[in-house]
Amino acid sequence: MNDEYAKHLQNRGNDKSKRDGGTVAQSALASAESHVATSTSAGCAGDGSGKEFAVSFNSLVEWADKQGLIRFHTDFTFFNRPPDGYGDEHEAWFDALSNLWFKATYPNRFGLAWNRDVSATAQTYLTRLVLQNRYFGDDIQLVALINVDERLRVLTSQPHIFGEAAPYAEIQEWFLNLGFARVCANDCVAWYIRSDNLLIADAHEGNVIKTPNGDLVPIDLNIIQPSGELLAWACEAAK
């Protein structure tokens, strides 16, 4: 990890300590991610097939059922109004009292698979959120799994970051300064850093906020730690 990257994480961590007294409840997200990752690695070859999606999906439901975290959309009043924001992966509602965004995946989908216009697996999606917290100092929390007519939505919360969409040129400069290499996959720009084996997509204006003091804060990156052929490609592309 280069010095600029380490400094960025330290600054985000300090800001978080000021915001919540230094205690961040990420246990549900971490527990779910660990359970699903273990089940998926034991239950299939990890080749991105339909079997992997099903094993991962069922494992998440099993975990949530044991934790009592399967809820209905009627349990949350914000589902009664139109979303305040939406994209290819989520609908989102802002709660001013808590200063939180509540984000729900679309039914039976877990965001987008990296560089493919199909659903990621539950494991890939949960790991992405864990990595966002770990490497970019975020505070994404798993709230519940929402049962909507026997279809599943993942509900998370995330602190609101005051600011505006960061200019794309500044986003690119920021990643380069953090030690990432700019790589391209199917005409899409991504970022790779070998020291932490992070491959990042969707770092566009809508997913990076520029705060009033000029800091750039990612809020919804597509992050993976590649392996196999994808890792070999990322290492070669980053040269």
Confidence of residue 4 (pLDDT cuts 50, 70, 90): low
Confidence of residue 186 (pLDDT cuts 50, 70, 90): confident
Percentage with pLDDT > 70 across the chain: 86
DSSP E strand stretches across the chain? 70-72, 85-86, 90-95, 100-105, 141-148, 151-159, 164-165, 181-185, 188-193, 198-201, 208-210, 216-218, 222-224
Q: Round to the nearest angstrom and report the end-to-end CA distance of the chain.
A: 17
Q: Taking a C-beta distance cutoff of 8 angstroms, is the pair 72, 131 a contact? A: no
CA torsion angle 90 214 15 158 (round to 10): -10
Q: How much is the pTM?
A: 0.87
Report the Cα 114 to chain-centroid distance in Å: 12
